[in-house]
Amino acid sequence: MAAGFKTAEPLEYHRSFLKENCRPDGRELGEFRATTLNIGSILTAEGSALVKIGNTTVICGIKTELASPTVDGPTKGYVVPNVELPSLCSSRFRSGPPGEQAQAASQFIADVIESSEVIQTEDLCVEKGKLCWVLYCDIVCLDYDGNLLDACIIALLAALKNTQLPEVMINSETEQPVVDLEKKRPLKVHRHPVGSSFAVFDKTILIVDPTAEEESLSTGLMTVVMDEEGRMCCLHKPGGTALSGEKLQDCVSRAVARHTEVRKLIDKVLESMKMDT
Amino acid sequence: MATVQVSEAEKVYILHGVRDDLRVDGRGCEDYRHMDIETDVVSNTDGSAKVSLGYSDVLVGVKAEVGKPRPALPDQGYLEFFVDCSANATPEFEGRGGEELGLELSNTLYKVFSNKQSVDLHSLCISPGEHCWVLYVDVLLLQCDGNLFDAISIAIKAALFNTRIPKVHLSEDEEGGKEIELSDDPYDCVRLNVENVPCIVTLCKIGHRHVVDATLQEKACSVASLLIATTHRGTVTCVRKFGGGSLDPESIFEMIETGKRVGKALHTPLMELLKEEESLGKKRQKVGFLG
Amino acid sequence: MPVDHRRIRGPDESFSPRLFLPSGSAKCAAAEDRRSGDGARGNMDVRAIFARCGLVSQAKGSAYIEAGNTKVICSVYGPRETERRDETEMKRGKLLADVRLAPFSCRKRGQWIQGTEEKDLSQFLLESLRPGVLLQKYPRSQIEVCVMVLENDGAFLAHAVTCASLALADAGIEMYDVVMGCAARRSGDAVLLDPTFAEEHDEHPSPSGKESRLTLALMPAMNQVSGLQAEGEMDAESLVEAARACMEGCYKLYPVVQQTLLKSVRKKAPPPES
């Protein structure tokens, strides 16, 4: 009976739960799904992390390459983030070039990197005007069950914290770079942005960490990105219902609390990795 | 690929024939059909050949261009394959219809040539890390039959045999930069050693036996085929299964054995033919495309 | 080179740091014999695999395989209506396969745009799986198999075949048998089964100079080979030997795959408590 109701009237089904201040998966309105993190599992990448928020699974791998810097930024390296939603992760995506959602997510991640200053691109310079590092941050969604952006930011942050850059020297005779893979230094992560996503139901009810189904039924979505000093780096609200200032304030304070949770999680996982080695 | 409709009765007829080593056109299971080879057919390439085998018609042109060696292999040149499926062959190839088959064919050709022996890639190097010869092998399918791979590989071998790469000299200018000079004499050129270029034999499994150089009707009766590329010494450079069916291991081993035997036997007459045609020089009879 | 406007682009040209290693240090040791390097694994041993079904919540069926450091994930969608009406086949279903290599899965960064190599891999996967699936049971519909290689530490295509057929089984698609994949590399006289990336790309020429790679797909219950590709230089005898070795490898992994399936079925439909 319940299954039939869910399929025939999904919105009513969700409303009947929200009336009781809970959600079909048993969560409260302001509760995130269980978040798990695995850092450094991809050895072919210079840094990597796998994040699961409930069913949503995202993996980020960072490859480093050498390139010459741009003319207007001779002391700067590059950070190139891309989010991919392959046909593997949900039946709603087709294989081929990235769709609108993937493009928007890539741009959002690029904005977060730039406005939060998580990486200072000057750190990536090897020699001024000649050689710098490029960080290709490729984020792949493996299972799409809503709240992609939060998962992407956590995966990116954890992968960056895991990234090691090999030592590079420039041979003065040949002017060719020489790389020493034995000597590596960790990448400096200056800020720790963490995102929190919200969905608005029926223009008034605010829920946290929506699933794919909740996302598609909701009337508005919003993502707030905070850093460790409680500053907002990015606010993403693509259309939908208008929100009052009060509600927005609620979201921001929830995002601050979420920041502490995620930060703790990352530190815990990194700590346990150190213990292992 | 071009396909034909074959009725159940026809299938049984072909199947029984193959079982008794007598095919519809009178051949045995390991016989090729008549083959025509002509080299030097396209004047604006560095080497070309046209092969028709049964109802397959293939034109191959080789162009040599100076390029940059691959970073991982600085002291070698390389080959690039491109297969163009002309809409002349079958209306299915119109527009982008032939793209998939073309890609499949060219990918297989890369595999066939992905070894150190087939072509001496070191000889294509001009100066390590900077310049090398890139041989663009362009295959044009004019008519398709069940034996595409075989015809293409023979045409490539003939075209490579026909290829003349201009001689170049490296000279250093005052600033230490290198300059490439092309020889003035158009007859001053290098030829490739094509002895080890492999030939492809496609074997179609029909009933419990397998046949060489299948016609389209025979191909329609077969669930799977095996491609085997062999050099004149019998070294196998590529094996690949095609088609929607599966094969039992023993028959695969038998097919490899047959493919090797047939392929090896193909090389000697082919080389003799190519040499003979060349020795005729201008006297040779031009057949052209309509012949 | 087409410009990709739908992705964030980096510099026009960038190089893997591995190209600038001091000369001589880059190449790894020869892998004529595995026992010296790879711990206890003998030349004819396959890596122990970890396999799990049903990890992708959104898919009809899915599977994940880890063999050594090679990691492959696959999900299956369908059977559903064919996307392009003109390609609908009345009598049998259509199987589609898509293999992608994540950009960070190899030593050198890959591109997102699907290259010819990935198309070739997809083709091999499709041809290996097709004989195993009862497509006549799914007229007018299509079944999609999507594979993502997360890390390539050798023989990823072979494991992709196994992973994909596990995912098909997990999706409840009717099959004759699970299709198993196995790869081998031959360097000189030594056959290395289920090679790692370092063993696959070992550049040291062996004394006889002949090197080859082979990937084979087998349906063990029927003893039928559904996929085979080999390249390099080999004589017929060594080819047959390598193919036999791969079949051995498939048989070795077969029980593990069966157990994985059994486990996932038990989880989905627990046996009634008596």
Summarize pLDDT for B42-52 with one digit per residue, the tens: 888 999 999 99
| pLDDT tier for residue C274 given thresholds of 50, 70 and 90 | low
More confident residue, C10 or C36: C10
Q: Do B246 and C224 touch (CB under 8 A)?
A: yes
Q: What are the tens digits of pLDDT across the range A187-232?
A: 999 999 999 999 998 888 899 999 999 999 999 999 999 999 988 9
Look at residue B48 in the predicted model and tell me its pLDDT.
93
Report the candidate in C127, C196, C103, C193 with the shortest Cα–Cα distance to residue C156.
C196
Residue A98 has pLDDT above 70, yes or no: yes
Look at residue C21 in the predicted model and tell me its pLDDT.
80
Window 173-232 of C: residues touching A by CB (8 A cutoff) are: none
Q: What percent of chain A has pLDDT over 90?
A: 74
More confident residue, B57 or B172: B57
More confident residue, C85 or C266: C266
How far, in Å, CA of C92 to CA of C19, rounded? Answer: 49
Report the candidate in A97, A113, A104, A102 with the shortest Cα–Cα distance to residue A62.
A113
Q: Do A90 and C102 touch (CB under 8 A)?
A: no
Are B76 and B124 in contact by the 8 Å Cβ rule? The answer is yes
Element (H, E) at B258: helix B249-280
User: Which one of C8, C74, C145 would you mutate to disrupt binding with A, by most A Cβ within 10 Å of its Cβ?
Assistant: C8
Q: Token pair for residue A82?
A: 């891309």
Are C229 and C81 in contact by the 8 Å Cβ rule? The answer is no
Q: What percent of chain B has pLDDT over 90?
A: 50
How far, in Å, CA of C174 to CA of C143, rounded? Answer: 11
Look at residue C34 in the predicted model and tell me its pLDDT.
52
Q: What are the tens digits of pLDDT across the range B150-208?
A: 999 999 999 999 999 988 888 777 776 677 887 777 778 888 899 899 999 999 999 99
Q: Token pair for residue A93?
A: 């995506």
Look at residue C36 in the predicted model and tell me its pLDDT.
43
Any CB–CB contact under 8 A between B95 and chain C? no
Residue B287 has pLDDT above 50, yes or no: yes
Q: Do C103 and A66 touch (CB under 8 A)?
A: no
Touching partners of C (3+ C-beta pairs < 8 Å): A, B
| pLDDT tier for residue C88 given thresholds of 50, 70 and 90 | low
Q: Do C243 and B252 touch (CB under 8 A)?
A: yes
Could you say which of A43, A80, A180 has the minimum Cβ distance to residue C151? A43
User: In the B/C pair of chains, how many CB contacts fall below 8 A?
Assistant: 98
How far, in Å, CA of B55 to CA of B33, rounded? Answer: 9
Fold held by A30-191+259-276: Ribosomal Protein S5; domain 2 (3.30.230)
| pLDDT tier for residue B239 given thresholds of 50, 70 and 90 | very high
Q: What is the mean pLDDT of residues A55-60?
A: 96
Q: What are the tens digits of pLDDT across the range C219-256?
A: 999 999 999 999 998 888 899 999 999 999 999 999 99
Residue C31 has pLDDT above 50, yes or no: no
Look at residue C35 in the predicted model and tell me its pLDDT.
45
Q: Do C231 and B104 touch (CB under 8 A)?
A: no
Q: What is the mean pLDDT of residues A248-275?
A: 93
Q: Alpha-carbon dihedral of residues A102, A104, A107, A111, nearest 10 degrees?
A: -130
| pLDDT tier for residue C203 given thresholds of 50, 70 and 90 | low
Element (H, E) at B102: helix B99-112
Query: Is B64 contained in some domain?
Result: yes
Shortest Cα distance, chain C CAs vs residue B187, angstroms: 34
The stretches of C185-231 forming alpha helices (DSSP H) are 197-200
Domain of B139: which CATH number? 3.30.230.70
Q: What is the mean pLDDT of residues C84-113?
A: 83
| E-strand stretches of chain B | 35-39, 47-53, 56-67, 78-85, 125-127, 131-143, 164-166, 168-172, 178-182, 189-191, 199-206, 209-212, 225-230, 236-242
Backbone CA torsion sign across A38, A40, A43, A46: positive
Burial of B74 (0-12, 13-18, 19+ CB in 10 A): middle
Nearest CA in chain C to B231: C233
The rounded radius of gyration (Å) of the Cα atoms in chain A is 21
How far, in Å, CA of B239 to CA of B263, rounded? Answer: 13
Nearest-5° Cα angle at C240, C234 to C244: 130
Q: For residue A232, how many other CB atoms are within 10 A of its CB?
A: 15
Shortest Cα distance, chain A CAs vs residue C75, angstroms: 6
Query: Is B29 contained in some domain?
Result: yes
- Residue C160 one-letter amino acid: A
How far, in whole angstroms, is CA C194 from its chain's centroid? 11
Q: For residue C59, how many other CB atoms are within 10 A of its CB?
A: 26
Any CB–CB contact under 8 A between A111 and chain C? no
How far, in whole angstroms, is CA C134 from its chain's centroid? 21
The count of structural domains within chain B is 1
Q: What is the mean pLDDT of residues A251-256?
A: 93
Residue B279 has pLDDT above 50, yes or no: yes
Shortest Cα distance, chain A CAs vs residue C55, angstroms: 8
pTM of the predicted model over 0.80 = yes
How far, in Å, CA of C166 to CA of C53, rounded? Answer: 7
Residue A175 has pLDDT above 90, yes or no: no
Look at residue B289 in the predicted model and tell me its pLDDT.
61
**Do C and A count as touching (3 or more CB pairs closer than 8 A)?**
yes
Query: Is B2 contained in some domain?
Result: no
Report the candidate in C12, C115, C6 with the shortest Cα–Cα distance to residue A84.
C6
ipTM: 0.90
Decide: helix, strand or coil at residue B212. Answer: strand
* Chain B CB contacts of C226 below 8 Å: 241, 246
How far, in Å, CA of A212 to CA of A209, rounded? Answer: 10
Q: For residue C270, how many other CB atoms are within 10 A of its CB?
A: 8
Q: What are phi and psi of B179, to 5 degrees?
A: -130, 145
Residue A99 has pLDDT above 80, yes or no: yes
Q: What is the number of H-type helices and E-type strands within chain B? A: 5, 14
Shortest Cα distance, chain A CAs vs residue C261, angstroms: 20
Query: Is B63 contained in some domain?
Result: yes
Shortest Cα distance, chain C CAs vs residue A125, angstroms: 14
Could you say which of C56, C75, C152 has the minimum Cβ distance to residue A44? C152
Report the candidate in A220, A251, A226, A225 with the shortest Cα–Cα distance to residue A238.
A220
Contact residues for A9 (Cβ-Cβ < 8 A; gap 6+): none
Cis peptide before A97 (omega within 30 of 0): no
Q: What are the tens digits of pLDDT across the range B19-31?
A: 998 998 889 899 9
User: Which one of B197, B241, B251, B252 would you mutate to disrupt binding with C, by most C Cβ within 10 Å of its Cβ?
Assistant: B241
Average pLDDT value over all residues in chain A: 92
* Chain C CB contacts of A108 below 8 Å: none
Beta bridge partners of A200: A206, A220
Average pLDDT value over all residues in chain B: 88
Look at residue B2 in the predicted model and tell me its pLDDT.
59
Residue C26 has pLDDT above 60, yes or no: no
Nearest CA in chain C to A176: C20
* Chain A CB contacts of C59 below 8 Å: 88, 90-91
Q: Do C57 and A48 touch (CB under 8 A)?
A: no
Could you say which of C4, C8, C74 has the minimum Cβ distance to residue A110? C8
Domain that holds residue B159: 8-290
Look at residue A274 in the predicted model and tell me its pLDDT.
86
User: In the A/C pair of chains, how many CB contacts fall below 8 A?
Assistant: 150
Q: Do B240 and C226 touch (CB under 8 A)?
A: no
Question: What residues of C are in the B interface, CB distance below 8 Å?
Answer: 15, 19, 116-117, 119-120, 123, 127, 130-132, 205, 209-212, 214, 219, 222-236, 239-240, 243-244, 247
Q: What is the mean pLDDT of residues B58-86?
A: 90
**Ramachandran category for residue B92: left, alpha or beta (phi over 0 → left; psi -120 to 50 → alpha):** alpha
Look at residue B168 in the predicted model and tell me its pLDDT.
84
Backbone CA torsion sign across A143, A149, A155, A160: positive
How far, in Å, CA of A215 to CA of A219, rounded? Answer: 8
Window 112-171 of A: residues touching C by CB (8 A cutoff) are: 134, 136, 138, 140, 142-145, 166, 168
* Chain A CB contacts of C146 below 8 Å: 86-88, 95
How far, in Å, CA of B158 to CA of B52, rounded? Answer: 12
Q: For residue B147, how many other CB atoms are within 10 A of its CB?
A: 27
Could you say which of C20, C103, C153 has the minimum Cβ distance to residue A178? C20
Look at residue C29 in the predicted model and tell me its pLDDT.
41
Q: What is the 3-state secondary structure (H, E, C) of chain A?
A: CHHHHHHHCHHHHHHHHHCCCECCCCCECCCCCCEEEEECCCCCCCEEEEEEECCEEEEEEEEEEEECCCCCCCCCCEEEEEEECCCCCCCCCCCCCCCHHHHHHHHHHHHHHHHHCCCCHHHHEEECCCEEEEEEEEEEEEECCCCHHHHHHHHHHHHHHHCEEEEEEECCCCCCEEEEEEEEEECCCCCCCEEEEEEEECCCEEEECCCHHHHHHCCEEEEEEECCCCCEEEEECCCCCCCCHHHHHHHHHHHHHHHHHHHHHHHHHHHHHHHHC
Query: Is B38 contained in some domain?
Result: yes
